Amino acid sequence: MVYELRTYKTQVGKVDEFLALFETVALPILRKYSTLVGFWFTEIGELNEVVHMWAYRDLNHRRDARAALFADPEWQSAFLPKARPLLSGMATKILTPANFSPLK
**In the chain, domain spans:** 2-95
Residue 77 CB-half CA count within 13 A: 3
pLDDT above 70: percentage of residues in the chain: 100
pLDDT at site 42: 95
Note the pLDDT tens digit of each residue in 65-80: 999 999 999 999 999 9
pLDDT band at 12 (very low <50, low <70, confident <90, very high): very high
User: Of 91, 33, 90, 95, whose CA–CA distance to 67 is shortest?
Assistant: 33
Q: How confident is the model at residue 104 (pLDDT cuts 50, 70, 90)?
A: confident
* 85-95 average pLDDT score: 97
Give dist(CA 91, CA 28) in Å, integer.
22
When the candidates are 3.40.50.970, 3.30.300.130, 3.40.50.920, 3.30.70.100, the CATH number that belongs to 2-95 is 3.30.70.100
